[in-house]
Structure 1
Amino acid sequence: MIEEVHNNNLERFAGFGELYDQNRPSTPQEVVDILSTYLRGNPQTVVDVGCGTGLSSFIWLNSSEHIIGFEPSDDMREVALVKWEALGKPSNITFENRLSHELGLPTESTDIITCSQSFHWMEPHSTLHEFARVLRPGGIFAAYDYDWPPVCDWTVDERYQQLIAYADKRAAQLAPEGQRAHKWSKDEHLQRIQESGLFRFTREIVFHSWELCDANRYANIALSQGGLQTAIKLGAEELHSQVTQFRELVSKAFAGESRHILFSYRMRLGIR
């Protein structure tokens, strides 16, 4: 059952690694600052699980001796490796194909484990037990996500929500039973961490990050969402015209200028 869920979830992210990487928000420095504060110093080893294209991994380059990005999607991991090569192949970061419940790391070998916009795709029971196994005493697991949509213009935000809700509905309708992706509610992340009994301290932390964005990037942020990509791949042709209309609305709101948009983050963490 776990393997089937992972396979279905993995398929959801096939084919749009570059679109994802070029438009999703950069992981803010606050992530490093918060977790280093709770760790009481810089980590020796950071493991970023479900790291995608490395947006949440490279942020640690100057703050950790060793970073491992685990990503089972070949498309996403390939983008991370191209970026790694462009940076001169830094020796303190690697990217590997692993699933969250089978990290293959020694027991008590890791200071920090992060899941950026990814923990909701992982079977939580087996994943949390594996994370607790590889974390050192006092080590930290942090799942952090950003809210959809980013703050822009209320008419754009409203249409964004409508577009994604429709795409998710169509993806569920078109996917054959047994091949549908499954995600666990982000709202229950903290409760699951607490109820696992594996962590001595848990809490939620909220923070925000502004990013400069033009109309094309804002529209592509919506297009980079898995539900929309899945629905299009499964044949929801009507979405092409809806995306075009959304782009036109965004273009009108931005009026040819770049503007700052706000991403709101929610971090749920547990200290072993």
Structure 2
Amino acid sequence: MIEHIRTNNVQRFTGFGELYDESRPTAPAEVIKILSSYLGRQPQTVVDVGCGTGLSSFLWLNDAASIIGVEPSDDMRAVALAKWEAMQRPANLQFVKALSHELELPAASTDIVTCSQSFHWMEPQSTLREFARVLRPGGVFAAYDCDWPPVVDSDIEQQYMKLTTLGHQLAVELEVEQEQAYKWNKEEHLSQIQASGLFRYAREIVFHNWEPCTADRYVKLALSQGSLQTALKLGAKELEAEAASFREIVEKAFAGEEKSILFGYRMRLGITK
């Protein structure tokens, strides 16, 4: 059953790597500051699991001797590799295909393991066992996620929620049950870390980051949600009309200007024994 879920979760991200990369937020520098502080030094090795298009992997280029981006989706990883090529293949960064519970890395070889917007797609306990195996004593695991929608305007945010809720409903209705992805509850990340018994300390940290945003990007942020993409791929015409209406509302509110939007983050971390 778990293997079936893992397969569906990987396949969920097929076909919209470019859209995801151009709209989703780059991981903020606060991640480096927080995790390096808990580690007590600059990390030698960082493993970024479920790294997608690399938005959370490239972050570490100047702050870790070795970065390994782990991504099972060929589409997502292809985008990351194209960016890596465009940057003249930085030697301290590599992208590999693997699953979270089978990293194929030596034991006690890693200082920091991160999951940016991805831990909820992984079976938590088998994943945490693997993370604890590859982390050195005193190593840090951190799962961090955005709150949706990003802060900009109450009317826009209400329409964003209306659109994404409809996308989720249609995806559930249209997709064959055996092909549906499964998402573990983000609110249980901390309790999963604590329940594993693998970490001597665990806590939640809340922080935020302001980013510039155009109307086009804000619309694409909504469209980059997996449930919307699933529904659209399954031919949800009602959703296409709702997305077009949402674009009109956003473009009118932005009026051709760039706005600052606020991404709120919630990080759940554990430090190994």
Q: TM-score range by the shorter chain?
A: over 0.9
Give CA-to-partner distance per residue, 1:212-247, whole Å, 9 cap, x none: 001001000101110100011112111111100000
Counterpart Cα distance in 2 of 1:7 and 1:56 = 23
1:108 aligns with 2:91: no
Specify the alignment match of 1:217 in structure 2.
217
Q: How does 1:1-272 map to 2 (within 5 A)?
A: 1-272=1-272
Give, in angstroms, the shift of residue 256 of structure 1: 1.1
TM-score (structure 1 length as normaliser): 0.99
Q: Which whole-Å CA distance do the structure 2 matches of 1:198 and 1:178 have between them?
A: 33
SS of residue paired to 1:178:
helix
Corresponding residue SS for 1:200: strand
Q: For 1:69 and 1:2, how far apart are their aligned partners in 2?
A: 23
SS at match of 2:26: coil
Cα separation, 2, equivalents of 1:189 and 1:183 = 12
Instruction: Tell me, in whole angstroms, the C-alpha distance in 1 between the residues paired with 2:50 and 2:29.
Output: 19
SS of residue matched to 1:54 = coil
| Aligned-pair CA distance for 1:3 | 1.5
How many Å separate the matches in 1 of 2:98 and 2:5? 15
CA deviations over 1:195-223 (Å, ceiling 9, x no partner): 11110000000000000001001000101
Which TM-score applies when normalising by structure 2? 0.99
Indicate the SS of the match to 2:178: coil
Query: Which whole-Å CA distance do the structure 2 matches of 1:23 and 1:166 have between them?
Result: 20
Return 5+ residue gaps in structure 2 as ranges: none
For residues 209 and 8 of structure 1, what CA distance do their matches in structure 2 show?
Answer: 32
In 1, Cα distance between the equivalents of 2:37 and 2:78?
A: 32
Count of residues paired in the alignment: 272
Distance 1:174 1:9 in 2: 17
Provide the C-alpha distance between the structure 1 equivalents of 2:254 and 2:176, rounded to a whole number of angstroms: 39
C-alpha RMSD of matched pairs (Å): 0.6
**Matches of 2:254 and 2:172, distance apart in 1:** 32
The amino acid of 1:258's aligned partner reads E
1:68 is paired with a residue whose SS is strand
Amino acid at match of 1:161: M
Q: Return the alpha-carbon distance in structure 2 between the equivalents of residues 116 and 51 of structure 1.
A: 7
Tell me how far 1:11 sits from its aligned partner. Answer: 1.3
Deviation at 1:269, TM superposition (A): 0.1
Write out per-residue CA displacement over residues 35-75 of structure 1, whole angstroms, 9 at most, x where no aligned residue. Answer: 00110111000000000000000000000000000000011
Moved over 4 A (4+): none
